Structure 1
Amino acid sequence: MSLLNPSLRACALVLPFALVTPAFAQQDRPAVTAASPDGSIVLTVATDNDSRPTWSLSRKGKLLIAPSKLGFILTDGLNMVRGFSIAGSDKASGQERWEQPWGERRFVNDSHNELLVRFQQSDVQGGRRMNVRFRLFDDGVGFRYELPEQPGLKTMRIADETTEFDIAPAGTAWWIPGGEWNRYEQVYQKTAIDAVSTAHTPITMRLDDGTHLSFHEAALVDYAGYWLKRSDGRKFRTTLAPSSQAARVIRDLPFNTPWRTIRIADDAAGLVDNDLELNLNEPNKLGDVRWFRPAKYIGIWWGMIRGDWSWAEGPNHGATTARTKRYIDFAAKHGFRGVLVEGWDKGWNGDWFGHGDDFSYTQSTPDFDLPGLAAYARDKGVHLIGHHETGGNIANYEAQLDAAMRLYGGLGVDVVKTGYVADAGGIIAPGEAPGETRMEWHDGQRMAQHHLRVVETAAKYHVAVNAHEPIKDTGLRRTYPNWVGREGARGMEYNAWGAFANGPDHEPTLVYTRMLSGPMDFTPGVLSLEGADHAPLASTLAKQLGLYLALYSPIQMAADFIETLETFPKELDFISKVPADWSESRLIAGEVGDYAIFARKDRNSEDWYVGGVNDATARTVTLGFDYLEPGKRYTATIYRDGEGATYLTDARHEIAYETRTVRKGDRYDLWLAPGGGAAMRLVPAK
């Protein structure tokens, strides 16, 4: 729910009724079923012959998820796995239309049926109670555990879950390994489902019958993120990210776990045009957040990534007052709201990777005038974007957090990029005793707590957060709309470190995998198409423009040097005009890992933008304009791959420009080069 215009929110309809099964012997208890609103997805919840809770799912009459177990393994008592019976259940339904303060689309529809199943464990097994709430949509399902107050169980110390997903049909998966040293920054693998090992979510699958699935989670709060671990065949189970303590999660009752989610669709577009995780998060808790404005930015960043400048002080220091003024002037001239500055604060000297002990978040280096530059930017209608790199040391960061956010808020620095550069299990967190520290994982319970603390503290001072090396996105931007962006995948920076470091199919895969979790700060706009030592990108020039349509973020960077951007006036003009906030978005053509073309409508005008990205295979895609308003003519300014363009040679810079008039019902044949892309701006003709 957005508090910007509460009257636009439709009243939710909830129709509860009870279905209580009598206390018969286990074998006499019937299963409990529920269906999605259109009846295509049917859920069955039962207990098996070993009195273990199970769930299964069918779609359009075909088994999708075979009976799969539910439960917990505890560190300090009998496991909550066996000895359960169904004590009762309740059903409800909901219908709601709510407004996002910013996003891929302005309005989100939520139509679902719900089933709450109450499980009771036998006294011999511990006598605990465990509820599981399922929510069924026409395009997916989510479920979570709800642990009520109960005698003899005040605190749960969870070693792991036994939540299973036994995928009945065969198919193909796109995934990255979970628990590796560089977090989510992996190249996606494409394998058979039964060749997956342990994967981060979202993990995307295309079954042999064409059904598309995406496994993820929603509302990850005060809990460990999960990895999807294959146990046998196509049977998977959740495994929680590790903790410095024996238990991976410690929670006092009552509490709810995050939702375990599956998006389900007939095609790739059905996965993308899907708001399942957002709908499973709580409404906006921050109220009016119009102080955050979606926008584009430039930054003192690419030079550090390539090695031209340094974060550390010295003769090559990037974050100087003089250079920042030049970037502010460029931003004001070309319509960029933000200027990111990394390396402005004390603590970068020496080897900071993975410890960050010396970082100050309030003290500038001698050659950087933070208050003066904030004022200089403000006078030109530009805002500095702050930067807090922790080196993975949240003990040091949390000790300064309030003061740091207060400083930014007071200076009008209303967006901050945070960073957690460390190995996967290398986060330094406060311990129990003063001065004691512990090592935590990037996606463990302690980091879920930390990231939310940062977001809530920032909100007090009207600062938005763009987290790099983050915990994964699970739709919490609905509840905390100042959590505006994350990295959480292999971004543009890798292209600075080697030829074709991100292959041509990387971005067309991100669309259907990582991007299903939420906005990504990919940092597009490297128009030079080269990294350090002239290492080429697996991209044409047109693809760099298409990235602004394919990879959504409410904060979009033009990552190249400002001197380089100015040598591409037509492309810079497009980047300066393409919005970062949309009223509508839809995938109009694409397949997982191959290509993706979007149509998006500007939230603040009647303009449409169309574009996207391609893999290494040249193809011609026929695009329709059925989303345009009937009877209107639109002037389309088109940026497409030029004749002979390919990412493999210097022809990657070949680009063609075209202007034409289009109407609803027209068709346009778009040729996409290997590693190519395209972008269009459609303006209603006068």
Structure 2
Amino acid sequence: MRALVLAVIMLLAALGAPAMAQAAAVASVASPDGRVRIDITIDGEGWAHYAVSRDGKPLIAPSRLGFQFTDQDAIGRNSRFVSSETSSRNTRWEQPWGERRFVTDAHNELLVRLASPGASNALTDNRAERPIAIRFRAFDNGIGFRYEFAARADGKPWRIADELTEFVIAAPGTAWWIQAGDWNRYEYLYHHTAIGEVSAAHTPMTVKLADGTHLAFHEAALVDYSAMWLKRVDGLRFRATLSPSSRGAKVERSGAFTTPWRSIRIADDAAGLYDNDLELNLNDPNVLGEVSWFTPHKYVGVWWEMHLESKSWASGATHGATNANVKRHIDFAAKHGFRGVLVEGWNKGWDGNWFGNGRDFDFAQSYPDFDLPDLAAYARKQGVRLIGHHETGGNIAKYEAGLDAALDLYARHGVDAVKTGYVADAGGIIAPGDAPGEQRMEWHDGQRMAQHHLRVVREAAERRIAVNPHEPIKDTGLRRTYPNWVSREGARGGEYQAWGTPGNGPAHAPTLVFTRMLAGPMDYTPGVLSLKGRGGRDLESTLARELALYVVLYSPIQMVADLPENLEAHPREMDFIRKVPTDWAQTRVLAGAVGELAVLARQDRNGPDWYIGGVTDTQPREVVIDTAFLPAGTRWRAHIWRDGDTADYRTAARHDIVIEQKPVTAGDRMTIRMAAGGGFAVRLEAIE
């Protein structure tokens, strides 16, 4: 009898298994060109899934959608399809500044409405269904989707423990990624591994599938929400993991709200990933209105000398932010046409160990040897502006308390850009608590920091001040909505060349172009023409490569990082740096492979000239530049700064550079050699 019962149970299970696994198609949407398709299904357990294909080939296999909460049942299993609707959009909008002036937003949209069983409650047994909508957008070069929550029926806030959003990559390949949840935020060299060897990654994460297709996973419009990490669950299956919070729930929102967009760029090659405005198009339009008060520019600063340890942030005999030293930098900036002078270490609080505590910083009181009103006026007379600096040491409780006074001080003296800093371990942000005087420890990219950064940007915008945060929350395209959020760090920047162990290495820049730079502008701080770091350390670069970085790594504000005396020693190289713009009408990737090489062409937004920059990894390369992107029949003069025949980042010949000119007609091909660890820069001057 027992054997018969067991056989019946096994038969029923076998019969039921296909029914449970079978998925019912409920909705789909394709991109305007019809190549990219998103399919939505509900499986036998009631899990909603999405899948992405291109030309019929799976890119993202069916992947679950859902949420876990701290105080109610999850949204996931037993979901029910309610309805769907579609719409389309094809518009063109103008950036006030950027990699290109005009952006096209062409997509087809699918809104899927689901219902999930209500939260179980032992006292009331309230099982009313909870509605949730998921909005998908299919572009020719990628997809985006977000969740849209209605207010809770019981009036309580939504308390999200984590997302259950999955990304099941449909084919093997390789990935470029940095680890998430570690102490040093985003400041790591990139790993290059098989997709199946990724652990937990920050986004953007870039992958190359076996057939050469490139994907980049990221998010857009990170507002009042925790940043998404990608955690590999098994095989090629990843799940969204939200950055932690001290309050238990990783996200707490009241009323109706939308999540950030989850985005996937799709391209045939690395170049296609960069020539893509997906995340910008997923953000809301500019809410600040007219923002011509921000001027893209280059700047010098009292900064590199601190990294060399010849000057200090702290007061005393080696203090860098003195009246005399700042005036020296102002004079240099005026002489060479640089608009800004960054001054770090000017305000009280730098003495002692400020890393990760920031308790002694005062953002409105200067050291006695720094006269802000006098220096700001001195700079203005020469057409130069001071760039402010607010290092918080990760103490946003202290910074928020003094934010109004600090920004008001800058506004009074015409300081219209500020670099903010959050040097602290990943989970070491000191934030205000719920009770007066209470403080909590938060993560750099948790919901509390998303709120904080946007508060700083909004407060600065009210005073017509641009913001450039270092140790920031990652970029998710919010510069479209808040154009005064002009740049940020958010990766291993140029200072690691001074003292990092190891340094950034030649592969770092051509990796950044197709990973970090997919998120948005980066204040990398190039221009160390001496090629020397702390203690005489040699930079892993060449002289021509330092020039190339101004074109390859985009930012509307670009630092000329080296000491004035070192820059003065390179007048021919300074000629390029003086002329290269920081705002562009068009951008095109002419050649690219992640971690190997990147060659980009950009057109000056304020004139006809084009600029081309190229960088390589440790391998010397010869690239052929096809100038077919130039208007047919036009003539140009190419000003070229390239590696000399003996140049090599590993030897003293890293300084070997050839500067030459040659005529070019649209459609010509130019062959340029890059040395190991080297690069080149070209200015294409239009000939009347």
Paired residue for 2:89, among 94, 116, 127? 94
Which stretch has the larger CA shift, 40-49 or 580-589? 40-49
Q: Which residue of 1 aligns with 2:299?
A: 297
Closer, same or farther: CA 633–499 of 1 in aligned 2, 3 Å? farther
Does the C-alpha gap of structure 1 residues 68 and 369 become closer, same or farther in structure 2, counting only changes over 3 Å? same
Q: 1:647: which partner in 2?
A: 649
Q: Do structure 1's residue 54 and structure 2's residue 49 form an aligned pair?
A: yes
Question: Match for 1:274 among 273, 276, 280?
Answer: 276
- Tell me which residue corresponds to 1:82: 77
Partner of 1:634: 636
Pairing 1:309-458 to 2, within 5 Å after superposition: 309-458=311-460
AA partner of residue 162 (structure 2): D
- Secondary structure of the structure 2 residue equivalent to 1:621: strand
> Are the equivalent residues in 2 in contact too, given 1:26–1:51 (CA < 8 A)?
no
Q: 2:634, 2:35 → 1: CA distance?
A: 37
In 1, are the aligned partners of 2:73 and 2:119 still within 8 Å (CA)?
A: no
Given the two structures, how large is their TM-score scaled by the length of structure 1?
0.95
Contact 1:527–1:560 (CA<8 Å) still a contact in 2? yes
In the alignment, which residue of structure 1 is the partner of 2:577?
575
Equivalent residue, structure 2, for 1:9: none
Checking the alignment, whether the CA contact within 8 Å between 1:145 and 1:257 is kept in structure 2 is yes
Whether 1:139 aligns to 2:134 is no
- Aligned pairs for 1:615-630 (under 5 A) are 615-630=617-632
How far apart are the structure 2 equivalents of 1:627 and 1:394? Answer: 47
Q: 1:682 to 1:27 in 2, by over 3 A?
A: closer
What is the CA-CA distance between 1:27 and the residue it aligns to? 7.9
Aligned residue for 2:250? Answer: 248
Which whole-Å CA distance do the structure 2 matches of 1:99 and 1:419 have between them? 30
Contact 1:500 1:535 in 2 (8 A): no
Secondary structure of the residue aligned to 1:31 is strand
| Cα offset, 1:663, TM superposition | 1.1
Quote the offset at 1:29 in angstroms.
Answer: 5.7
Residues 110-129 of structure 1: per-residue CA shift (max 9 Å, x gap): 00000000011135864211
CA contact (8 A) 2:134 2:146 kept: yes
1:478 aligns with 2:480: yes
Equivalent AA in structure 2 for residue 468 of structure 1: H
Give the drift of 1:499: 7.1
1:471-514 Cα offsets, whole Å, 9 max, x none, are 00000000000000000000000111157611110111000000
Residue of structure 2 in register with 1:592 after alignment = 594
Structure-2 separation of matches of 1:150 and 1:34: 29
Aligned equivalents of 1:498, 1:375: Cα separation in 2: 37
Q: How much has 1:630 moved relative to structure 2? A: 1.7
**Aligned to 1:113, which of 108, 116, 137?**
108
SS in 1 for 2:587: strand
Structure 1: how far apart are the matches of 2:510 and 2:407?
36
Indicate the SS of the match to 1:457.
Answer: helix
Range that drifts further, 598-607 or 122-131: 122-131
Tell me the CA shift for residue 47 of structure 1: 1.2
| One-letter identity of the residue aligned with 1:43 | I
Instruction: Please name the residue that 2:189 is paired with.
Output: 187
Report the Cα offset of residue 31 of structure 1. 2.1
Residues 449-487 of structure 1: CA distance to partner in whole angstroms, max 9, x if unpaired? Answer: 000000000001100000000000000000000000000
Distance 1:249 1:642 in 2: 54
The code of the aligned residue for 1:423 comes to: D
For the 8 Å contact 2:23–2:43, the answer to whether it is kept is no
Are the equivalent residues in 2 in contact too, given 1:555–1:580 (CA < 8 A)?
yes
- CA deviations 1:636-681 (Å, max 9, x no partner) are 1000000111101001000011100101110011101110000011
Question: Any idea what the Cα deviations from partners look like across 1:126-171, whole Å, max 9, x if unmatched?
Answer: 4211110000100000000000235236311001000000001110
* Structure 1 residues 83-113: Cα deviation after superposition (integer angstroms, max 9, x where no partner): 1011001100001100000000000000000
> What secondary structure does 2:431 align onto?
strand
Identify unmatched segments of 5+ residues in structure 1.
1-24
Structure 1 residue 611: Cα displacement: 1.1
Aligned Cα RMSD in Å?
1.3
Distance 1:252 1:37 in 2: 36
- Structure 2 portions without partners, runs of 5+: 1-19, 121-126
Aligned to 1:662: 664
1:283 corresponds to which of 266, 282, 285? 285
Give the structure 2 partner of residue 4 of structure 1.
none
Map residues 546-565 of structure 1 onto 2, 5 A cutoff. 546-565=548-567
Q: 1:176 pairs with 172, 175, 178, which one?
A: 178
Structure with higher Rg: it is 2
Match of 1:682 in 2: 684
Picking from 200, 207, 210, the partner of 2:209 is 207
Q: Supply the distance in 1 between the matched residues of 2:119 and 2:415 (Cα, whole angstroms).
A: 59
Which residue in 2 is equivalent to 1:526?
528
Q: How far apart in 2 are the matches of 1:47 and 1:30?
A: 7
TM-score, normalised to structure 2's length? 0.95
Q: SS where residue 409 of structure 1 aligns?
A: helix
Question: SS where residue 626 of structure 1 aligns?
Answer: helix
- Name the residue aligned to 1:503: 505
Query: Is the contact made by 2:592 and 2:598 (CA closer than 8 Å) also made in structure 1?
Result: yes
Contact 1:597 1:613 in 2 (8 A): yes
